[in-house]
Amino acid sequence: MESVSVTRRNFTEICWGAMALPGFAEWLKGEPRDYQPKFFDAGDFEALQSFTEILIPTDDTPGAREARCAQFIDFLLDASSEDARLQASWRKTLSTLRDLGYHAGDVSARARLVQTLAQEKHPAFNTIKQLNAFAFYTSRAGQIEALDYRGLSYNATFPACTHPEHRKI
Amino acid sequence: MNESYDVIVVGSGACGGWASMELAQAGMKVLMLEAGSHISAAEQFHHQCLYDLEFRGRGRPGFLRRYTGTERNYRIMLDTAENPYTTSTDTSYRWSRSRCLGGRTLHWARAADRMGDYEFKAASRDGYGMDWAISYADIKPYYDRVESFIGVSGEVLGLPQFPDGPFLPPMPLNCAETIFTAACGAIGWKSTHRRLAQLTQVHHGRPACHYCGNCVNGCDVGAMFSTISSTLPPALKTGNLTVRTDSVAARVRMNGENRAQGVTYIERYSMKPVDIDARFVVLAASTIENTRLLMLSEKGGLANSSGLLGYYLIDQIAGGGVSGILPRLKGGPARLDDGKSAGITIPNFQNIDKATARKDFIRGYVINATGGQTEYPEYAATLPGYGSEWKKEVKARYVAQARVWIAGGEMLARKENFVELDPEVKDHWGIPVVKIHFTHGDNDRKLMADFQQRAEELFRKAGGEVMPEMRRGGPAGFPGGPGSPDETTATHRMALGGAIHEVGTARMSSNAKDGVLNSFCQTHDISNLYVFGGNAFPSTGDKHPTVTMMALAARGCDHIKENAKGRLS
């Protein structure tokens, strides 16, 4: 059996040492467009970033751009070297978009293609939408600024329901 | 000559912590052995938002496969590569464990519901299985003792099948819970605040809950009951307790006079075996682990004159339920809805007496319901659409989320569900592991089907809109997803063992022929060997088991104290 010796110190190193990975701190601090993709090539990354921003646009609340969803997806896939199937499925997804003309399309052409893929429930659309939603709503921009999540805070009391109408069916 | 104590307590969870405290306070020299690491809340428990975590809770891809936890809390779970187990081919039983100081008390669901004679004497009522060797009157003083110390928030209800205790004020209900309460009233079901070992006021020097909702990742202030927040500090204060972490118990050693001589443990990192002697040995390492230790200690199993050691493994029925939204809450303002991780409880209302008897199944279940905003809107990924309208819909539904789930359904005890030592597989220290045989029976499936109908009835009455694709937690590896501790409250059907309420395998009985333990959790065969935990349960009941295990441990501690004074034969 594999010999395993995991100490508290090792745990800490495993968890927090990863914070020093090249790229991670960079995209946290830098401008979104400064990020150098690790998993995708520049063309695929630009296409992915554009796609995620169509799915979750910036409006009266932040969108995928501010949440840096494409960067997180690239970061996650780059770290998924043990999951060859996952990486292959994403290569195929971007390859499909390229074949459909997404990469070469202008803004309106890209918007039309996204609409078509959504109507078809195309696997490429679903793949990007699912991880994009996760990337967005686990970001500070998505969870706090868009959804106004109140948990993980210190509170003197719990806000009880004070609505008489909720006591009736 | 070996190092010697009055008592060796194996394990530091709910029962191990309690036994160590009570026996140390009684003046006995106690050694607590914990297989896992030392844990300090101040050093290791913090509020961490998902965006504070590098992989947003998922952990580095592949890393968490060996842990039964998330990026936040895997440190208080267990390394499955070090601690494997096997199952028979017909089951997918998932045995969730912790190996660290405090064990599963660090991330338990905190539900503290008493069992009653409705459960202890169920066999006399419906003819299935075996009554417990105690009645509610026997254990009530110990429930009182435990609950008074750990602090349980709740509401007096006056139902015999859901006995009351000395409660702290209940946690307030949020909007969704208030609506579900009204729906219960309209149907005719009694409901109440969930009873939780989570403080609503300062109690024995511990602060009140600050409603962060981070409970399963370790409470940073000790407002929820855990060994390290509650029982360990006063135990250490006596000066009579020695805590030895990273010490993997391997077997109970016997002397030549049918008494336990002590315990052999293996130092976790040096792999060195160590023998310790004691006047009393208390196994409190969790249900299956306790039974494994008895099996490891003697061929055929120590204290197994009945031949029943390992048999009648039971776990409550969990999973199922309904999730969706309450449209009347849709689009409302953001609120701190999940800060208490609570909900309402609907005590069992069937098979209590002749008037409520069902013809198609015996025993019962408890229902929970809650709603409101959660940390992650798991429905977002599958909610149709995209763009700004989709974002608005995600947010509108965010505060209106709602779910009904089964808190605990009684699974019937059957001899064909059992654990044994695997003849081939060993753990990291070369100790044989257990093999688990476990399937549900026909009554279990009928009870679950009935619950599903009732859950849908409640959800409809509350005006809920079902979202079949929605469940708490995300995909596998996500917080709340399959494989994570939060899955205990997920509303999809979960793996066998997913309730993490495994009990049985050394049941109590009034005579040595019908069980391994007596009503004090003392083995029938060896007078100075006690087994605290879920092992003694002849049946699961429909309540979360921890507070009952602790009450049994408290009763057992009184017995040890008397035994130590030589007052018992």
* pLDDT, tens only, B66-107: 887 888 888 888 899 999 999 998 787 889 899 999 999 999
For residue B476, pLDDT beyond 60:
no
Whether B182 sits inside 8 A of A169 (CB atoms) is yes
Per-residue pLDDT, averaged over B444-456, amounts to 91
Whether A24 sits inside 8 A of B54 (CB atoms) is yes
Other CB atoms within 10 A of residue B561 CB: 17
Record the tokens describing residue A147, joined without a space.
């959804």
Beta strands (DSSP E) in B416-499 are 418-426, 432-437, 465-466
For residue B492, pLDDT beyond 70:
no
Q: Where does the pLDDT of residue A34 fall: very low under 50, low under 70, confident under 90, or very high at 90 and above?
A: confident
Mean pLDDT estimate for chain B = 92
Report how far residue B553's alpha carbon sits from residue B74's, in angstroms, rounded to the nearest whole number: 28
For residue B299, pLDDT beyond 80:
yes
Place of tokens 């509610």: B136
Give the DSSP H/E element, type plus range, for residue B450. Answer: helix B442-461
Other CB atoms within 10 A of residue B216 CB: 25
Ranges of each domain in chain B: 3-564
Give pLDDT, residue A7.
Answer: 37
* B139-157: pLDDT as tens digits: 999 999 999 999 999 999 9
Give the DSSP H/E element, type plus range, for residue A85. Answer: helix A84-99
Could you tell me which residue, B174 or B341, shows the higher pLDDT?
B174
Report how far residue B82's alpha carbon sits from residue A7's, in angstroms, rounded to the nearest whole number: 13
For residue B340, pLDDT beyond 80:
yes
Whether B269 sits inside 8 A of A72 (CB atoms) is no
Whether A147 sits inside 8 A of B395 (CB atoms) is yes
Whether A1 sits inside 8 A of B380 (CB atoms) is no
Give pLDDT, residue B494.
Answer: 53
Best mutation target among A4, A158, A167 (most B Cβ atoms within 10 Å) is A158
Report how far residue A165's alpha carbon sits from residue B329's, in angstroms, rounded to the nearest whole number: 11
Per-residue pLDDT, averaged over A7-11, amounts to 37
Could you tell me which residue, B213 or B474, shows the higher pLDDT?
B213
CA atoms within 13 A on the CB side of A101: 11
Give pLDDT, residue A32.
Answer: 54
Q: Where does the pLDDT of residue B491 fall: very low under 50, low under 70, confident under 90, or very high at 90 and above?
A: very low
Give pLDDT, residue A20.
Answer: 41
Q: Where does the pLDDT of residue B468 fall: very low under 50, low under 70, confident under 90, or very high at 90 and above?
A: low
> Minimal Cα distance from A57: which residue of B?
B387
- B452: amino acid identity, one letter: Q
DSSP state letters, B281-292: EEE-S-HHHHHH
Whether A143 sits inside 8 A of B50 (CB atoms) is yes
Q: Cα angle at B45 between B42 and B51, to 5 degrees?
A: 135
> Minimal Cα distance from B80: which residue of A?
A4
Residue B416 phi/psi, 5° resolution? Answer: -70, -10
Place of tokens 């006021």: B201
Are the CB atoms for B467 and B325 separated by under 8 Å? yes
Q: Where does the pLDDT of residue B469 fall: very low under 50, low under 70, confident under 90, or very high at 90 and above?
A: low
Size of interface A-B (CB pairs under 8 A): 177
Give pLDDT, residue B321.
Answer: 85
Give pLDDT, residue A18.
Answer: 41
For residue B477, pLDDT beyond 60:
no
Whether B380 sits inside 8 A of A6 (CB atoms) is no
For residue B549, pLDDT beyond 70:
yes
Q: Between A57, A61, A81, which is nearest B387 by CB?
A: A57
Whether B172 sits inside 8 A of A160 (CB atoms) is yes
Per-residue pLDDT, averaged over B423-436, amounts to 98
Give pLDDT, residue B248.
Answer: 98
Are the CB atoms for B330 and B396 separated by under 8 Å? yes
Which residues from B are below 8 Å from A5, CB to CB?
269
Whether A153 sits inside 8 A of B47 (CB atoms) is yes
Q: Between A137, A157, A161, which is nearest B377 by CB?
A: A137
Q: Between B47, B56, B335, which is nearest A152 by CB?
A: B47
Record the tokens describing residue B202, joined without a space.
């300062």
DSSP B224: B
Give pLDDT, residue B93.
Answer: 86
Q: Between A11, A59, A72, which is nearest B388 by CB?
A: A59
Record the tokens describing residue B308, joined without a space.
């029943």
Whole-complex ipTM: 0.90
Beta strands (DSSP E) in B427-552 are 432-437, 465-466, 529-531
Q: Between A2, A148, A169, which is nearest B183 by CB?
A: A169
Record the tokens describing residue B182, joined without a space.
């009204």
Q: Which of A133-142, B92-101, B153-162, B386-395 has the lowest mean pLDDT?
A: B92-101
Largest CA distance in chain B: 78
For residue B215, pLDDT beyond 80:
yes
Q: Which of A123-137, B296-310, B332-346 has the lowest mean pLDDT?
A: B332-346
Residue B3 phi/psi, 5° resolution? Answer: -60, 140
Whether A150 sits inside 8 A of B335 (CB atoms) is yes
Give pLDDT, residue A23.
Answer: 45
Q: Where does the pLDDT of residue B197 fall: very low under 50, low under 70, confident under 90, or very high at 90 and above?
A: very high
Which residues from B are below 8 Å from A21, CB to CB?
54
Are the CB atoms for B309 and B505 separated by under 8 Å? yes
* B33-55: pLDDT as tens digits: 999 999 999 888 989 999 999 99
Length of chain B: 569
Report the gap between the CA of A20 and the closest CA in chain B (Å).
Answer: 10
Per-residue pLDDT, averaged over B176-185, amounts to 98
Report the gap between the CA of B373 and the closest CA in chain A (Å).
Answer: 7
Report how far residue B520's alpha carbon sits from residue B532's, in angstroms, rounded to the nearest whole number: 9
Among B403, B378, B409, B418, CA closest to B498: B409
Record the tokens describing residue B297, joined without a space.
């200690």
- Percent with pLDDT over 70 in chain B: 95
Place of tokens 């309730």: B499
Architecture of domain B3-564: 3-Layer(bba) Sandwich (3.50)
Other CB atoms within 10 A of residue B23 CB: 26
Which residues from A are below 8 Å from B336, CB to CB?
150-151, 153, 155, 158-159
Whether B47 sits inside 8 A of A157 (CB atoms) is no
Beta strands (DSSP E) in B361-515 are 365-371, 401-409, 418-426, 432-437, 465-466
Q: Cα angle at B449 between B447 and B450, to 5 degrees?
A: 65
Give pLDDT, residue A95.
Answer: 98
Record the tokens describing residue B208, joined without a space.
């009140």
Best mutation target among B46, B50, B187 (most A Cβ atoms within 10 Å) is B50
Are the CB atoms for B154 and B114 separated by under 8 Å? no
